[in-house]
Amino acid sequence: MKKFRRSFSFVVGLLVVVGLFGCSQETPMEKAKAAAASGNAVTQAAGQAAVDAIKTPMDKARQTESILEKSAEDTAAKIKESTP
């Protein structure tokens, strides 16, 4: 009886797997559209990664620049105050 259950379970599982693969087949037109969409997505992702790689250091540089400008202004104000 256990052997029958195992065999039956195996056959049912095999049919389910075959059925799932059969349902997921695409026509050549759908494959072409999917390939174009994934290629476009990959291109956009790579482009965004390049922009982010440049943007982050530039943001840090701008922040540093503003700190240096403020420091220079403070130093100039101190010099003007100390000059008679």
Inside any domain, residue 26? no
Inside any domain, residue 7? no
Inside any domain, residue 71? yes
Inside any domain, residue 59? yes
Inside any domain, residue 77? yes
Query: What is the domain count for the chain?
Result: 1
What range defines the domain where residue 61 resides? 43-84
CB distance 10 to 18 below 8 Å: no
Residue type, 13: G
Instruction: Read off the pTM.
Output: 0.39
pLDDT in tens, 23-70: 666 566 666 666 666 667 777 788 888 888 888 888 888 999 999 999
Inside any domain, residue 31? no
